[in-house]
Amino acid sequence: MTDLLVRGGMIVTAGGVFPGDILVRGGRIAAVVQRAEEFPNWEMWVAGGAGEGMEHVRVLDATGLHVLPGLVDVHVHLRDPGLTHKEDFLSGTAAAAFGGVTTVLEMPNTLPPVATAALFAQKRERLAGRSYVDYGLYGVIDEANFPHLRELAEAGAIAFKLFLGPTTGDIRAPGWGRLQDVFALVAELGLPLVVHAEDRDVIEYAQAQVGEARDYRAFLATRPPFGELAATQTTCLLAQVSGARVHIAHVSLGDAVDLIREAKERGAPVTAETCPPYLFMTAEDCERLGPASKILPPIRERKDQERLWEGLHDGTLDLIATDHAPHLTEEKASKSWSAAPGGMIGLETMLPQLLTAVGEGRLTLPQLVEWTSTRPATIFGLAGRKGDIRPGLDADFVLVDLDAEWTLQPEHLHSKSKNSPLLGARLRGKVVHTIVRGHVVVENGKLGEPIGQWLPGACWTAGTGQPARIGG
């Protein structure tokens, strides 16, 4: 492997922004040096530290660019296996690389759902050598697979996913009584438990009352706020009673932020995320865009959007994830909000959208890093490898031009799906290079080789009977 020197840029971490250079040896960060007025004498440093000169080091000029830790997206649906007409792992991770996302955690509601160790192993084998970025794989919790959860964890699941409400795949959860046993076992295993917090019974009752939703307000009535609030409240209570590390996915309601804040104040081991559509869109946008903008939970009102931002800024919400959920254009073209599938793409647009918001003063660059890299890596057990720029960690970076202004067009998107509400939007801030473990996988718009590696969860035994986490 060629070693790398990223030289001349402005380094951004959750702790601040400073001019600096980064030396990469063997795929890991060997040194981070804050520059004064003159460049460090890297030739002397490299020779003195490794006995080899700079002829073995590739220099990547980052002058005029900001160097951020690669984004860690803990919530993606890459549809592989079983739904590869919508997306596959190569196309989805290519989209990630072009969006500055260097680690993805892939959801388990594929076909078949990842409900046993055998199915996990089949998916892992299928995806080997077919990713441009590093990746972890979820195991699902359904109404019947409680006896398989321990073996799923030992097979290397990065986390578990529990779908309390109906969504793609319509995977039914255990009842609340059985979930007490599930949460207790997950607490024992120590893996994160990610919850889609909408109550199925509330939603199915509302759907029966409303019938077919032909407009957005009718669709909102089929996913009433009470469904998300009831599921969020009960999930937080189960976390507190069991000690399970619960992560609430895609929070859409301001009142849900309050419930999560109260749970944290009581000491419940709860974290939470929201997603760009909830931060940048409102119900009025969905009325204009039609069923192409349908996601689950649905996009709410401006007052909810404002409280989600407040939740991020006060620490109630821990991170931002894409919930990248591709569907083909013809699948989203239904005139019925009930019939259209829920989901949008986001891997290529989250970072430019957030960089644009930085320019507007809605967040800072260090906050962007905290919410999209550092906190996700910490919550999902990857802090020893990902999420920061410091010696010893994987050399995962995204180099961005904060001043680049551009208009998003379909040809910019590498996902099989082009279902983005940002098409035609003017953005400020663009990915120039993406680096994964020292490999430059995107360079000035050109895609490199699929060098992504699987990231096992903390319970992976590697066939030894003992946990064998790789790389800390």
**Whether the predicted pLDDT of 412 surpasses 50:** yes
Domain's final residue, options 379, 408, 426: 379
Measured distance CA(73)–CA(372) in Å, rounded: 7
For residues 219 and 272, membership in a common domain is answered with yes
For residues 159 and 93, membership in a common domain is answered with yes
For residues 184 and 274, membership in a common domain is answered with yes
Domain's final residue, options 350, 379, 408: 379
CATH of the domain at 28: 2.30.40.10
Measured distance CA(337)–CA(339) in Å, rounded: 6
* pLDDT above 90 coverage of the chain, percent: 91
The CA radius of gyration of the chain, in Å to the nearest whole number, is 22
Measured distance CA(91)–CA(24) in Å, rounded: 27
Q: What pLDDT, on a 0 to 100 scale, did the predictor assign at position 461?
A: 84
Inside any domain, residue 470:
no
Q: What pLDDT, on a 0 to 100 scale, did the predictor assign at position 51?
A: 41
Q: What pLDDT, on a 0 to 100 scale, did the predictor assign at position 28?
A: 98
Q: What pLDDT, on a 0 to 100 scale, did the predictor assign at position 471?
A: 42
Inside any domain, residue 385:
no
Q: Does the CA dihedral 415-420-422-428 come out positive or negative? A: negative
Report the domain count for the chain. Answer: 2
For residues 59 and 76, membership in a common domain is answered with no
Q: Which of 218-222, 271-275, 327-331 has the lowest mean pLDDT?
A: 327-331
For residues 63 and 76, membership in a common domain is answered with no
For residues 80 and 131, membership in a common domain is answered with yes
For residues 156 and 29, membership in a common domain is answered with no
Inside any domain, residue 81:
yes
For residues 180 and 74, membership in a common domain is answered with yes
Q: Which of 11-20, 28-37, 145-154, 422-431 has the lowest mean pLDDT?
A: 28-37
Q: Which two tokens stand for residue 98?
A: 């072009």
Inside any domain, residue 352:
yes
Domain's final residue, options 349, 379, 409: 379
Q: Which residue has the tokens 């076909």?
A: 111
Inside any domain, residue 245:
yes
Q: What pLDDT, on a 0 to 100 scale, did the predictor assign at position 50?
A: 45
**Whether the predicted pLDDT of 101 surpasses 80:** yes
Q: Residues 155-159: what's their mean pLDDT?
A: 98
User: What domain range is 178 assigned to?
Assistant: 70-379
Inside any domain, residue 469:
no
Q: What pLDDT, on a 0 to 100 scale, did the predictor assign at position 470?
A: 44
For residues 27 and 112, membership in a common domain is answered with no
Alpha-carbon dihedral 90, 94, 96, 99, rounded to 10 degrees: -170
In this prediction, residue 141 has a pLDDT band, given cuts at 50, 70 and 90, of very high
Q: What pLDDT, on a 0 to 100 scale, did the predictor assign at position 465?
A: 61
Q: Residues 385-414: what's their mean pLDDT?
A: 98
Q: What pLDDT, on a 0 to 100 scale, did the predictor assign at position 442?
A: 98
Inside any domain, residue 461:
no
Give me the chain's average pLDDT, please. Answer: 94
**Whether the predicted pLDDT of 159 surpasses 80:** yes
Give the model confidence (pLDDT) of 245-297 as tens digits: 999 999 999 999 999 999 999 999 999 999 999 999 999 999 999 999 999 99
Q: Residues 122-143: what's their mean pLDDT?
A: 98
The strand pair at 101-106 and 446-447 is best described as unpaired
For residues 51 and 137, membership in a common domain is answered with no
Give the model confidence (pLDDT) of 201-210 as tens digits: 999 999 999 9
For residues 44 and 168, membership in a common domain is answered with no
For residues 295 and 363, membership in a common domain is answered with yes
Q: What pLDDT, on a 0 to 100 scale, did the predictor assign at position 45?
A: 57
Inside any domain, residue 92:
yes
Give the model confidence (pLDDT) of 288-326 as tens digits: 999 999 999 999 999 999 999 999 999 999 999 999 999
Give the model confidence (pLDDT) of 264-278 as tens digits: 999 999 999 999 999
Q: Between 46 and 193, where is the model more confident?
A: 193
